[in-house]
Amino acid sequence: MKDKVNGELAKIGKEFKGTSDIKHFVDVLKEKLDTVKGAITKPLSGLKVTAHPGCHYMRPAEWMESDDPMRPTTLNELIAATGATVVVHDEMITCCGSAVTNAYEEHGMANLKIKMDSIKKSGADVICVNCPACFQQFDTRQRDLGKNYETDYDIPVLYITELMALAMGFSPDELGLKFHRTRMKSILEKLGL
């Protein structure tokens, strides 16, 4: 693979030497979990959070070498560090449908419905993600999903970094949470924010 990449890079006078140790930011947070815990000033007690680790964080497993794609734990550990209660749902390891939605919207929405039904059943207050594509799928498509299936979902979505920042004392305004499409009002009230 390295030879193939370098063959392409040579066309523009570049070379990949393989000397950098590239890590996903979630893995860095896990490695620094004690430091993260030490920065928590406003634990998110009483908040029920479910994780959606995202396919591209874990798969293909032989390349990503991160969390176990069939039994992921890292995002749950990071959520627990905020003081929130980790809620597990039955469809945690399945795709949110984002990759399919752009080409075959009905199939992507069907995937999202399976996920959202499972999340709703779990009683989670918040969906926590680490992937921008998953964030977009959950945050921007819930309203359409509800209209299509005549079901109210309305479950706020936060990046793990936003969840941690709230637990570290940052305000919702500092984080720009008002720009999320799925409104956070009930959750922020629950947290006294």
Q: 7 lies in a domain?
A: no
- The predicted pLDDT at position 63 comes to 60
Q: 125 lies in a domain?
A: yes
Q: What is the rounded radius of gyration, in angstroms, for the C-alpha atoms of the chain?
A: 18
- CA-CA distance, 114 to 124, in Å (whole number)? 15
104-109: long-range contacts, CB 8 A cutoff, minimum separation 24: 108/137, 109/141, 109/144, 109/145, 109/148
The total number of structural domains in the chain stands at: 1
Q: 129 lies in a domain?
A: yes
Q: Spell out the residues 6+ positions from residue 76 whose beta carbon is closer than 8 angstroms to its own.
A: 51, 86, 88
Write out the residue range of the structural domain in which residue 126 sits: 21-190
Write the pLDDT tens digit of every residue in 65-75: 676 666 778 89
- The predicted pLDDT at position 34 comes to 96
- CA-CA distance, 91 to 113, in Å (whole number)? 11
Write the pLDDT tens digit of every residue in 19-53: 888 788 888 999 999 999 999 999 999 999 999 98
Burial class (CB in 10 A: 0-12, 13-18, 19+), 188: middle
Q: 3 lies in a domain?
A: no
Q: 2 lies in a domain?
A: no
Q: Are 160 and 83 in contact (CB under 8 A)?
A: no
Predicted TM-score (pTM) of the model is 0.85
- The predicted pLDDT at position 60 comes to 57
Q: 14 lies in a domain?
A: no
Cβ–Cβ contacts within 10 Å for residue 122, how many? 17
- The predicted pLDDT at position 61 comes to 57
Residue that the structure tokens 């009930």 belong to: 186
- The predicted pLDDT at position 106 comes to 87
Q: 167 lies in a domain?
A: yes
Q: What is the CATH number of the domain that holds 66?
A: 3.40.50.11810
Residues in the chain predicted with pLDDT less than 50, given as ranges, are none
Q: 6 lies in a domain?
A: no
Residue that the structure tokens 């009905």 belong to: 106
- The predicted pLDDT at position 171 comes to 95
